[in-house]
Amino acid sequence: MSKMPGATWRPTPVNFTRGGQSSVRGVVLHIMAGTLAGTDSWFKNPAAEASSHFGTGKSGALYQWVSTADKAWAQAGGNPNWLSIENEGQGGDALTNAQLDRCAEVLAWAHKTHGVLLQVTSDPNGRGLGHHAMGGSAWGGHTACPGTRIVAQKAEIVARAKALVNGKPTPPKPTTPPKPTQNWTEILVNALPTLTKGCEKNAALKHDIKTAFKLLDARGFPVPEGVDDQTFGEPMAIQVRALQKFKGLKADAVIGKDTWEALH
Ligand SMILES: [Zn+2]
């Protein structure tokens, strides 16, 4: 519970106090004034006498050097009650979009694990997301850490952490319009091909021409005896036009959807 899933565990053997973390008030932002790699090796050097629980890289890396059950040495008098995040960059830098995400993830995790409130604070006796300079001389007098641009980003980090904790609003599922109920004739008709004069050249349509022949006959528009019932010639076209006129359709001798329906 004191190692954050998703953070790369880079434990330092020195520069922290085992246990010693009493009730957690919040998370404190810092600026490395250097690189993630440089800070990673510096925290493992006993001469540093400094460490942080977490560290972000500009391109989105997230390191954890100290368990949150232990006290990192990040902000002097603020160490017993605050977790810490060092951020790659120089004084005056703003956090990158990826760093904002990593800080939000740490804050969201600290909320779930340590009950840290998802709010901005600038009070060393307050709770939430703070920054190093707010602790004044009691916290080492680092008035330029992490810099005004990052301080101005605290609200954005809190907003992103809230989105992580509360779940991002999911877009409403597209409602599929109900399919109009079709009767059997419509289903049948939709499956039938369009027949036109001469379409028997496509042998696959001969069966459908024969069907149309039978239906014309059944509707009282018989094709004369002796005409091949698998050929859509003029004799059949005459009867199709007659049926279409009778049904108030366009008399074009094309057996499409409407004419098939009339035939059925
Ligand atoms: Zn700092």
pLDDT in tens, 152-208: 999 999 999 999 999 866 666 666 666 666 677 777 788 889 999 999 999 989 999
Q: How far is the CA of 85 from the centre of ligand 1 (A)?
A: 9
Q: How far is the CA of 73 from the centre of ligand 1 (A)?
A: 10
Q: Which carries the bigger pLDDT value, residue 225 or residue 94?
A: 94
pLDDT score at 134: 98
Each residue's pLDDT tens digit, 33-71: 999 999 999 999 999 999 999 999 999 999 999 999 999
Residue 1 has pLDDT above 60, yes or no: no
Q: How far is the CA of 200 from the centre of ligand 1 (A)?
A: 86
Q: How far is the CA of 140 from the centre of ligand 1 (A)?
A: 9
Q: How far is the CA of 112 from the centre of ligand 1 (A)?
A: 24
pLDDT score at 181: 65
Residue 20: pLDDT band with limits 50, 70, 90: confident
pLDDT score at 22: 72
When the pLDDT of each residue in the chain is averaged and rounded to a whole number, the result is 92
For residue 72, CA distances in Å to 13, 87, 102, 109 come to 12, 15, 19, 17
Q: How far is the CA of 90 from the centre of ligand 1 (A)?
A: 12
Bond preceding residue 172 cis, omega within 30 of 0 = no
The most confident of 16-25, 92-101, 180-189, by mean pLDDT: 92-101
pLDDT score at 149: 98
Q: How far is the CA of 215 from the centre of ligand 1 (A)?
A: 89
Residue 102: pLDDT band with limits 50, 70, 90: very high
Q: How far is the CA of 160 from the centre of ligand 1 (A)?
A: 22
Q: How far is the CA of 50 from the centre of ligand 1 (A)?
A: 10
Q: How far is the CA of 145 from the centre of ligand 1 (A)?
A: 5
What's the predicted TM-score (pTM) here?
Answer: 0.65
